[in-house]
């Protein structure tokens, strides 16, 4: 992975770790994002997205590892006005109108956008004179977006920016983000919606249990995590291929399952089998003909959570034990 491009260093996370008590929120994360990229950090709740974002913003101190933003420390980058964003929580202060609040935030940045322009982009102009405590959840979220926009930073950090926003609002929001990205700004957003990550990011960084489990172009990641999951019970005797009786050679069995058409990942825990599939119809037909003893078959749409579990099950089960 390139840590720099022609425009100089972007955002570089190096062996970044953070624990809260026994919980390893972020474990040795390495990530490099070039200036101008739009990157989605995708993961289920508890994946470490927010902790990672907080460390990038300098709100949380890493236990170990470093973060640099455009070659500076987070504190320096923040002080220089290079960072703007929407945190996951953040009520607005009261007793100000929307316009006054946006003006107030704009005044602390060195190169703010004109207030009216930022308000138009965020779609808050029509309620600009309303007090901030008289807004709906969606309107509040738009005002928070206006605050991020008016600060005109080099890096936008958006932690689940479309939570509580209706469909129409989401469309407008992403249109504005695209406009910002087109100006060469770096955009990093956290989400647990695959569709959002797929539609609006150049690149998806997949996090689960504090680690980056996949990192690549949106199309590639989408293929990995979409699809379905087949669960079944296959007696060990039935698993051992038809001809060879009583051979509990587990690795070969898992390999045989993984070799079924349409399977992207196979797991076996005793008699329980979990298959992550790109094409579950194809897999199911093959499964039944190859392993007629299979029973209790369940086919489910792979929620992103399941997909992550499947993707990450192999390499950190042991560490999970330690955490729990």
Partner 1 sequence: MTYPVYLRYEVLRNFRNWRFLFLTLAFPLVLYLLIGSVNRHVQFEHVAFPVYFMTAMATLGTMAAVISGCAIIATERATGWTRQMRITPLPARTYFRAKVVVGYLRALLTLVLLALAGIALGVRLPAQGWLTVLGLFLVGLIPFAVLGILLGHLIGADAAALATGGIVTLFALLGGVYGFQVATSGPVLAIIKALPSYWLVQAGKAVLGGHDWPIEGWIVIAAWTVVLVPLAVRVYRRDTGRV
Which residues have C-beta within 8 Å of that of residue 26, sequence separation ≥ 6?
Answer: 16, 17, 18, 48, 51, 52, 55, 62, 210
CB of 258 to partner 1, least distance (A): 44
- Please give the residue ranges that form the binding site for partner 1 (CB under 8 A): 57-61, 75, 78-81, 83-85, 87, 89-96, 100-101, 103-105, 107-110, 144, 147, 151, 157
Three-state secondary structure of the chain: CCCEECCEECEEEEEEEEEECCEEEEEEEEEEECCCCEEEEECCCCCCHHHHHHHHCCCCCCCEEEEEECCECHHHHHHCCCEEEECCCCCCCCCCEHHHHHHHHHCCCCCCCCHHHHHHHHCCHHHCCCEHHHCCHHHHHHHHHHHHHHCCCCEEEEECCCCCCCHHHHHHHHHHHHHHHHCCCEEEEEECCHHHHHHHCCEEEEEECCEEEEEEEHHHHHHHHCCEEEEEECCHHHHCCCCCCCCCCHHHHHHHHHCCCCEEEEEEECCEEEEEECCHHHHHHHHHHHCCCCEEEEEEECCHHHHHHHHHHHHHHHHHHHHC
Q: Measure the CA–CA gap between 178 and 38, rounded to whole angstroms.
A: 9
Q: Which is nearer to partner 1, 13 or 225 (CB)?
A: 13
Q: Give which of 134, 138, 151 is closest to 94, Cα–Cα.
A: 134
CB of 224 to partner 1, least distance (A): 32
Strand 263-269, strand 272-277: pairing: antiparallel
């Amino acid at each position: 992975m390139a840590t720099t491009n022609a425009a100089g260093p972007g955002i570089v996370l190096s062996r970044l770790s953070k624990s809260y008590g026994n919980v390893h929120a972020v474990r040795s994360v390495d990530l490099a994002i070039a200036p101008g990229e739009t990157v989605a950090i995708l993961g289920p709740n508890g994946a470490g997205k927010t902790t990672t974002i907080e460390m990038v913003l300098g709100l949380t101190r890493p236990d170990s590892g470093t973060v640099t933003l455009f070659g500076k420390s987070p504190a320096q980058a923040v002080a220089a006005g290079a960072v703007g964003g929407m945190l996951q929580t953040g009520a607005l202060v009261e007793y100000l109108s929307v316009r006054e609040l946006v003006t107030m935030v704009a005044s602390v940045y060195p190169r703010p956008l004109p207030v009216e322009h930022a308000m138009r982009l965020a779609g808050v102009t029509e309620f600009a004179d309303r007090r901030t405590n008289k807004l709906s959840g969606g309107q509040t979220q738009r005002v928070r977006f206006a605050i991020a926009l008016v600060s005109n930073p080099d890096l936008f950090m958006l932690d689940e920016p479309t939570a509580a926003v209706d469909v129409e609002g989401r469309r407008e929001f992403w249109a504005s983000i695209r406009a910002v990205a087109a100006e060469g700004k770096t955009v990093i957003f956290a989400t647990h919606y695959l569709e959002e990550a797929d539609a609006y990011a150049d690149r998806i960084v997949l996090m689960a249990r504090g680690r980056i489990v996949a990192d690549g172009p949106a199309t590639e990641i989408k293929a990995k995590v979409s699809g379905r999951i087949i669960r079944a019970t296959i007696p060990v005797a039935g698993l051992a291929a038809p001809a060879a009786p009583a051979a509990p050679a587990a690795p070969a069995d898992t390999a045989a399952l993984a070799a079924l058409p349409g399977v992207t990942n196979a797991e076996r825990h005793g008699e329980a089998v979990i298959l992550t599939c790109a094409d579950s119809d194809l897999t199911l037909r093959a499964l039944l003909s190859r392993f007629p003893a299979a029973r209790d078959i369940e086919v489910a749409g792979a929620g992103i959570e399941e997909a992550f579990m499947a993707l990450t099950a192999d390499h950190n089960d042991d560490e999970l034990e330690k955490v729990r």
